[in-house]
Structure 1
């Protein structure tokens, strides 16, 4: 699914102080929840990756403020990121992380792991970018793509108020079958899927805020829980990380 129409001045929608992926803000309850979840997921992401590879060279495409790269660097990984937002790059540099503003600056470097944590949905020419990233993967390297799933229960429940639509910043809206179809013709083999179980709670919390009625933190927790419980059988989690290996 594609967002239409796409605003001519799309970068302006990323300049808001409320776009937390480009800040380290903890000003309100939602910010604190976001930062808490992000910190808790760092170890889980690292373990997922280290279970699948013995490599040590990592590119995070759409690296935001660099927390994931800083964490992996502390685990003795050789890391670099690409992030177009200047404010986010500045925050990352203060953490001792090298962040480039575009993929061209990486020249002929190749990697054992390339990650896109909630990034693919933002990229206008995502097919071209994916092809370039796959070309930078070493043999048996991992490509990891995490995106929201519009076929999850929380998406169904909140409908147009579902926060993970995030229009117009999210240009594309993926499902499990959509990701599978997208990468079907590539030189990649799917290894596994990993549910991002905290996302259903956070997205439900934001979705409550999107509704005209009085938002309820209790209902947000309940809907997030139901979403995860239903997904145990359907596999339609609110967000999913897809692991692909280059053959």
Structure 2
């Protein structure tokens, strides 16, 4: 298998990299992967991950909910219940941050199409992109959506969208810096980029360490904190203007972590940790299990916070 070894930090270019955690792929293979940390900026990433042309088999499991839409098991049932609430919350967030009720939206990594369908129902012009052929077929059959493959991203016209959304997608993208350059070109000057990713500086991440389910190796390549994603966006012409916690994620991630650890009563244990994480995020939102980041294009004179 061809693997990609990172020799310089994708964010700061630093070459002082150290192994920080060893994680197991609990979903598909049972294989071991190592996380490395840049000593200079603190960015954490999965080292020696399968290249894009070969990583597909690590998604080929009926339990991978973003692609299969499975309702099997307690954890996935909880996921579906929370999703219906979160879809409305995401739609409201888009309209609040863009200050518009309709517009042109691009949803990258749309999965089975629930969010794209929601925004269409609100009257938005929606383009959707998804790598998984099975997920694209689901979106077509259930929502009538024509979802484009990921190769179409480079074919879209510049200045085409008022908002671009990536809901738990950025951590999967091998071409990290190239993707940010494309995102900048696709947005209008007043456009908004909304990115949701797990937060490896969260309460639950610290509690569970290498077992934290949101490391999800090797599918998750990059492991962001508020500081590192802020720097990444700035490198590519963006200013981070808002960040919002995703407190429900801590419950799902904690339950899944407990299950992966083969502990008794994973649902109950996960609920307890999720509740503690909720309170930590209330005190300091930057400790939320996942975060939503809102970026806008830099204007002359902008400096990083």
Provide Cα deviations, 1:125-163, integer angstroms capped at 9, x if missing partner: 111011101110011101011000011111111111110
The yes-or-no answer on 1:51 pairing with 2:96 is yes
Which segment drifts farther, 103-112 or 6-15? 103-112
| CA distance in 2 between partners of 1:196 and 1:187 (Å) | 25
Aligned to 1:124: 174
Aligned to 1:67: 114
RMSD over aligned Cα, in angstroms?
Answer: 1.4
- Residues matched between the structures, number: 247
| CA distance in 2 between partners of 1:144 and 1:99 (Å) | 19
2:267 equivalent among 209, 213, 217: 217
- When normalised by structure 1's length, the TM-score is 0.95
Aligned to 1:100: 148
Structure 1 residue runs of 4+, over 3 Å off? none
| CA distance in 1 between partners of 2:155 and 2:84 (Å) | 29
Aligned to 1:22: 67
| CA distance in 1 between partners of 2:266 and 2:236 (Å) | 43
Which segment drifts farther, 223-232 or 144-153? 223-232
Any stretches of 5+ residues in structure 2 without a counterpart? 1-43, 299-305
- When normalised by structure 2's length, the TM-score is 0.78
| CA distance in 2 between partners of 1:32 and 1:213 (Å) | 19
| CA distance in 1 between partners of 2:206 and 2:179 (Å) | 30
> C-alpha displacement at 1:106, in angstroms?
2.8
Aligned to 1:112: 162
- 2:45 partner SS: coil
Between Structure 1 and Structure 2, whose CA radius of gyration is higher? 2
Which segment drifts farther, 182-191 or 127-136? 182-191
Any stretches of 5+ residues in structure 1 without a counterpart? none
**1:108–1:182 CA distance, 2 compared to 1 (3 A):** closer
| CA distance in 2 between partners of 1:161 and 1:83 (Å) | 28
